[in-house]
Each structure stands twice: as structure tokens, then as C-alpha cells.
Structure 1
């Protein structure tokens, strides 16, 4: 009888409090799936707390657990990439370390994968434990990028998903430095299906994504998968030039017909500041894209590995 291989990939950054509570739930969820060779891969993204020590203890008690430690904090997108790069057999299921995405749904994800879907993703219908501002901004972000991007990015959908072997093989070919994983998942394509679920509150600790990081994350996503901001800057420049031209015609006509003995200082300053502001916005948008081209041109590695502990093998002792 055929047995499927599944690796649960969990990227963690300063999650020493959550991981001991999360792992038993993962084990219980995997135990209820028949004909499944299940593994768990934890990626420590340069944590500064006791996350690595906690993971070492978990691995010592569970032979199915592998550990990967990055040389420093490269960010969640790079940590996920590092984990998925190691899954060369079978499918991978991405799970957040904070426990907000319920491991109890893993059997439902596996069932859809066995039906032939390559990307089985969870769609949040409720976000418990999050403030109204975060919920509103997240809702707006997914609608905005959905309208701007030609790549399908499902609304209210995070990284909680199962990827088939051919989806993983496709992702390994995408080595861009500015990685917006939700967009990369959609860009790969293949057959996909959504599973609605209610997102829980964090098991412990606080979120590592404050409003400033979420804002930068949104800019990263929009500029990585859409050139609409540049086009918007072009349209804004054309509209501004048209308004300025019409205003200039009006000034000339007014001077010829009625004269203009007093210089319009407020009017002049308003026009200068308005045009200068539009130009700076356009230059800023161009700079965002040029900065990404600059980073891509350097071709630096996406991450460096400090330590790897394969399932069933004791990790080396560090002095």
C-alpha cells in the first residue's frame, strides 16, 4: 500500500514559549492520518531567546524532528525558503510557530492533496486575538494587492498551506532576493483549493510583526508583484502637467485681458510645492524598484545555515 511523505515546516523567531505547546498538537494531528510518513522540520531564524534550546529538547524526544538554524535573522520569507529547500521528497505543509493556524486541520489539507490539488491553502474567516486596526489593514492589503497584481493572491490567506512535490520543485527555481511568498505561491500556479478556517489567538508571547513591519511587508508585496505604482505615478504626472498647463494658459489670458500688477506669491508657492511633492512621490516609487534591482544584481545567497540536525541524528555539540 502506497505511503505519502509529508514534512511540516515551522519557521520560528523567538518562540520559546509557544513551541512546547505547539509540537504536541502537531504530533496528535499527524497521528490520525493513515498511510503517511510524517516529519517535522523546525527552522530557527536567528532567535535571541531560548528557541534553539527548546527545539533541541523537542528533537531529542521525537526522532521525526529535524532542526535547521540560520546564521542570523534573515526574515520569515527567507526562513520559509530555507525550510522548503530541504523538502526534496513528498509534500510540505507550512505552519506558523505561534499556533494561530490550527495543526488540527492537517488531515483536511492532506485529504485535498490526495484528491490531486497542488496548493491547499487556508483562508481565514475569523482572526481571533488581533486588534481592529490590524484586521482592517490586513483586509485592505489583500484587496489592494488583489486588484493591482496580475498574479493571483487569494484574499485573507497567509502561509498556512500544503504544497505538492511539483509545487516545491517549481518554488526552488525562484531565487529572487525580495521574496513575497504569498505571491510566489500564486505565481507558480497549478491546481489550488481553499479551506476556510478560524484563526486562533497566539499560544504565548507577542507578535513579532508591529505596524511598521506590516507596512513594509505590504510595500514589499505590492512592489514585488505589481508595477501599478509606477503606472499610477505616470498618470499622476500627466494629470499634474495638464492642470499646470491649463493654469498657465489661464494666467497668460488673465494678464493679457485684465493685467496682473501684483505678483501672486501664495499662488506661486502652492504650485511649486504641489509640483515638487508630485515629483518626489514619483522619484520615491522609482527608487523602490531601482533598489530591488540593485539587490537582485548583487546575487547574494538568500540565507546561511549555522547548524542542521537531521531527523533521528543527534546534533553536534557546540563549545
Structure 2
């Protein structure tokens, strides 16, 4: 097996037939042995039934059905763990990332690169708020993190077998895959493309989920928020000390009239807000430690359909 194409699927029934046709149109003429690993991440529509039908039509399609919706990062991890190819290519089922770029990814891999990133030059079909926030997120996380995450790059990329084997050794449960792809290193290069709108359907990534995803990425690869909380505490303490000196000096000069209720309330509310914010930052990291300490599997597999084997179940990692 040369190429494993990894496709996490969550309610993508309307895209699967077109996706398979486009992947096959690209891969069959290449002459490369390939497989398409489709991970059903707890879909509530006909996604699983369509995947099983495609598997019966073409045994090169392997179907992994997770026991529930674990999220895209877990579904992607399941697909990468199951990949048998010398190279793996994660691909979104919504066809925003064109399968027609796969030959370019493979060409750079043949040149000796272990990671070939597909960098977005544009993001058609998305609001300017989403485009601007995505642009800002990559710049912020690269300022905060010691690991350089390629800007404007999603999961669409090529990963060689050494990279896949390294990723499988990483034990963490809360996974930010874009960061992990960058963290492992290896020789990498980029290709560039214009991202298309979704083929059909509506994305489930609303702004609240995107915000949580950004927090996940920052807390996974940076301790700067904890440091900022400490620096903010030092700054507030210094300001409070200077304010205390000013109050003592004013009292010595002008006496001690019964005043100051507004200033006291403002000071208390300000200090209380700073303390709660610092506790919130600490809580984010503490929550990650708590999740990791339980050592629950990243995903659970209910059933697998693949060539030459009967369906399997109850696998986990």
C-alpha cells in the first residue's frame, strides 16, 4: 500500500459519492496502490450506510464506525492509526480541499519530504469574520508557542510513514492535530491552493466551537497564558502598592475624611476580576491535566469494514 487517504465523516452523506468519484479519478490513473479510510464519527444521517455501500462497491474503501461522536481530532487520529500506506493524506469530506492536489503532494514526497503542507491562499464560501479570525489565530498561536505551526494550513497535507509512526507514540488524549503535525518535525515543504466552498451541507463549526478549538490549540502548545496571569498579578500588586503609598501621603497632608466608597468598590471589583481571570487560565490547564490523568481512550470503534475481513468491533485507543 502506497497511499492512505484519511477522511473523517460527520453527517456528510451528501458529499460521499462525489468525493469517492473525484478521489478515484485522481488515484486510479496514478498507478499507485491506495486505500480510502473513512471514519464515521457518530453521524446521525445516512453517512454510515453510504460508506458501507461504497465499501461493497470498492474494497479499497475501509470504513471505521466509532461508537459515538468523539470529534474531528479523535476521528482523524483513528484514521491515521489505521493507515497502512507509506504516506497518509487527511482529507475533509466536504470537498473544500480538492483531491486533485494529491499528485502534487505525492510528487514532493517522492523528492524526499516527510511532510507536505497544503497552504490556503483563499477560503471561498466563508464569512470575512471567519477568515479574519482564522488568520489571527495562526498568528497569535505562533507568537505564543515554541512550535511553528504553518499559517493558513488545515489538516490537508501528506504525512510519510515515519511521521505516522511517530504520531502513534504520542500519548496525549486532548489532541490538537495541527500542532502535533508541526511538533514532530521532519523535513517539510508547502504547496498552495485556493480553498473551495463546501460541496453540499452546512458546517457544524460555529463560532463557539471555533473559539473552544482555538483555546484548545493555545493551551496545548503554550504556557504563555499562565505566565501572563502571573505577570498581571505582579502588575496589579505594584499598582495597589503605589496606590497605598498615595493614600498614606494624602492622609498625612489632608487628614482622613470619611470618603472613598466608590474608589474602594472599583478597586475591589478590579482585583476580583483579575483574580477570577487568573483562576480561569489556571483552570484551563488544570482541566487538561485532569483529562489526561484519567487515561480514557481517544476513541472507541464500534465496527470496521475492510477487504478480506469480517466486521470487527470494540476496539479502542
Is the pair's TM-score, using the shorter chain for normalization, greater than 0.5?
yes
Deviation digits for residues 97-138 of structure 1 (CA, Å, limit 9, x no counterpart): 110000000000000111111111110010000011111111
Distance of 1:222 and 1:146 partners within structure 2:
9
Q: 4+ residue runs of structure 1 moved beyond 4 angstroms?
A: 312-316
Find the aligned partners of 2:29 and 2:192 in 1 and give their Cα distance.
21
Name the CA distance, whole Å, in 2 between partners of 1:311 and 1:192.
Answer: 33
Counterpart position of 1:290: 286
1:171 and 1:37, CA in 2 relative to 1: closer, same or farther beyond 3 A?
A: same
* Distance in 2, Cα, partners of 1:8 & 1:202: 19
Preserved CA contact (<8 Å) 2:34 2:85: no
Aligned residues: 312
1:178 equivalent among 174, 177, 180: 174
State whether structure 2 residue 12 is matched by structure 1 residue 7: no
Instruction: Measure, in 1, the Cα distance between the counterparts of 2:235 and 2:291.
Output: 32
The answer to whether 1:28 aligns with 2:25 is: yes
- One of 273, 276, 282 as aligned partner of 2:272: 276
- Between the aligned partners of 2:87 and 2:248, the Cα distance in structure 1 is 70
- Alignment equivalent of 1:232, drawn from 207, 220, 228: 228
Partner of residue 196 from structure 2, selected from 181, 195, 200: 200
Return the match for 1:43 from 26, 39, 44. 39
Offset, 1:312: 5.3
In the alignment, what sits opposite 1:215? Answer: 211
Residues 8 and 95 in structure 1, CA contact (< 8 A), matched pair in contact too: yes
Note if 1:153 corresponds to 2:156: no
Q: Which residue of 2 aligns with 1:65?
A: 61
C-alpha distance in structure 1 between counterparts of 2:10 and 2:309, whole Å: 23
| 1:18 matched residue in structure 2 | 15
1:65-214 → structure 2 map (5 Å cutoff): 65-214=61-210
Which runs of 5 or more residues in structure 1 are unaligned? none
Q: Deviations over 1:60-113 (max 9, x none)?
A: 111211100000000000000001001144111100011000000000000011
Partner of 1:244: 240
SS in 1 for 2:276: helix
- Report SS of the residue matched to 1:293: helix
The Cα of 1:31 is off from its aligned counterpart by 2.1
Is 1:266 matched with 2:258? no
What TM-score do the two structures reach when normalised by structure 1? 0.96
Separation in 2 of the partners of 1:216 and 1:201?
Answer: 23
Q: Are the aligned partners of 1:78 and 1:179 in contact in 2 as well (CA < 8 Å)?
A: yes
Alpha-carbon shift at residue 313 of structure 1 (Å):
5.0
Structure 2: runs of 5 or more not aligned: 313-317
Q: Residue 22 of structure 1 contacts residue 97 of structure 1 at CA under 8 Å; is this kept in 2?
A: yes
Counterpart in 2 of 1:55?
A: 51
User: Contact between 2:16 and 2:93, CA under 8 Å: does it hold in 1?
Assistant: yes
Q: Secondary structure at the match of 1:96?
A: coil
